[in-house]
Structure formats: C-alpha cells, structure tokens
C-alpha cells in the first residue's frame, strides 16, 4: 500500500487584529485528505537554523496551531520526514493569523509562500533578563507618543516613518524602564528584543 503524503495550498490569507494588547495565534494549519475530510499527520515548525521549534500530531480535527515563535523566516513541514510538504518563508506578523489548508496526496510537492511586504513595522519582544515574557509591558516613543501595550507573549507592534529615527521607552510593573533607538531606512521590517532588569527589593 502506497504511503500518502501531502500537497499544500493556501485557502485563506490573513485576518487582521487590533495592534495593541491583542492576543492572537500566528499560524493555523488544517490537514485534510483528498476528499476534504480532516486528516491526522505530523506537523513541525522549523526555525531559521533548521531546528524543530515545535512539533504536533494533528488530532481528529486535522488542525495544528503555532501561536508564538521567534524572529526570522520559519518553515512548516507537514507529513513524514522523508517527503514532507514545506511551507517556506513563514514570518510572524503582529496581529495576523495565517491560515493554511494541506491536502493529502502522493509524495513530491512543496511550496514556498512569501508573507509580509517589508514595511517599516517594528516588532518588539519584551522580556525580563531571565527570559520571562512581559505581558502588559508598555512602549511609547519620543515622536510617536501613542502608548502600545504588549500582549500575553510580550509582543508589541510599533511604526517608524521611512527615513526617520525614533527612541522608544519600554516599561513594565516591577522592572526598570528600558529604551531602544531604531531607524527606518527603506521600509524594512525591524525586529528587536528588549530585556528589562527587575527592580531590586529594598531590605526592611
């Protein structure tokens, strides 16, 4: 009996969400058979270094989710290791859920999907010095004084005008404020991790 593998196609693109303090799941993959019925399969999220960041086996619903992952271009491998379908150039976009449907088929297909255009968005990840994600951290710029609150994963989306520079102050309850200075040269996407030092406890 021949082994089934997978051919992927994109049925849905992006669903936008609010920019501030909006929790979202970055990627949803639905695996179905050739009749359109949910199918079980291994699905792996692979980081830019080629290491498996997260691996799941789809339940009877055929649905796999990767809600949070790091900066850079990731890929998603669906099916067995010897012949997976590969969704390439998967980049986390703040406030967006990327949805894919993968159809079971014989070995031999892969696709590469480019996600976001290189606008001058600033994606911040805010954490403590021990790596804990700081939900509810706030950022505010000198030029753009709109306050943006990070979501439960410590993620925040900011913007800088092309050709301009900006300094953002990052704050969180129980931590010392931090600053980050960034420049937008040519509508590129900017990714930056910010670590905050906890306040020292005063001795009685």
Domains of the chain: 5-112 (2.60.40.10), 121-196 (2.60.40.1120)
Mean pLDDT of the chain: 78
Provide the pLDDT for residue 188. Answer: 73
d(CA 150, CA 179): 15
pTM exceeds 0.85: no
Reported as a single tens digit per residue, the pLDDT across 47-90 is: 998 888 998 988 889 899 999 999 999 999 888 777 778 888 88
How many angstroms separate the Cα of 59 from the Cα of each of 10, 32, 124? 20, 11, 33
Is the predicted pLDDT of residue 7 greater than 70, yes or no? Answer: no
């Amino acid at each position: 009996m021949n082994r089934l593998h997978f051919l992927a196609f994109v049925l849905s693109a992006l669903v936008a969400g609010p920019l501030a303090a909006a929790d979202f799941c970055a990627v949803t993959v639905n695996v179905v058979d050739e009749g359109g019925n949910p199918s079980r399969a291994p699905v792996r999220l692979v980081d830019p270094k080629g290491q498996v960041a997260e691996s799941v086996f789809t339940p009877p619903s055929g649905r796999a989710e990767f809600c949070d992952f790091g900066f850079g271009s990731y890929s998603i491998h669906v099916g067995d290791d010897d012949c997976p379908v590969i969704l390439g150039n998967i980049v986390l976009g703040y406030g967006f859920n990327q949805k894919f449907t993968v159809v079971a088929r014989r070995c031999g297909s892969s696709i590469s999907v480019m996600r976001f255009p290189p606008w001058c968005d600033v994606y911040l990840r805010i954490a403590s010095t021990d790596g804990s994600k700081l939900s509810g951290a706030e950022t505010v710029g000198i030029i753009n004084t709109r306050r943006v609150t990070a979501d439960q994963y410590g993620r925040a989306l900011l913007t800088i005008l092309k050709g301009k520079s900006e300094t953002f102050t990052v704050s969180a309850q129980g931590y010392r404020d931090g600053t980050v200075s960034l420049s937008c040269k040519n509508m590129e996407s900017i990714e930056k991790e910010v670590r905050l030092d906890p306040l020292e406890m005063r001795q009685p």
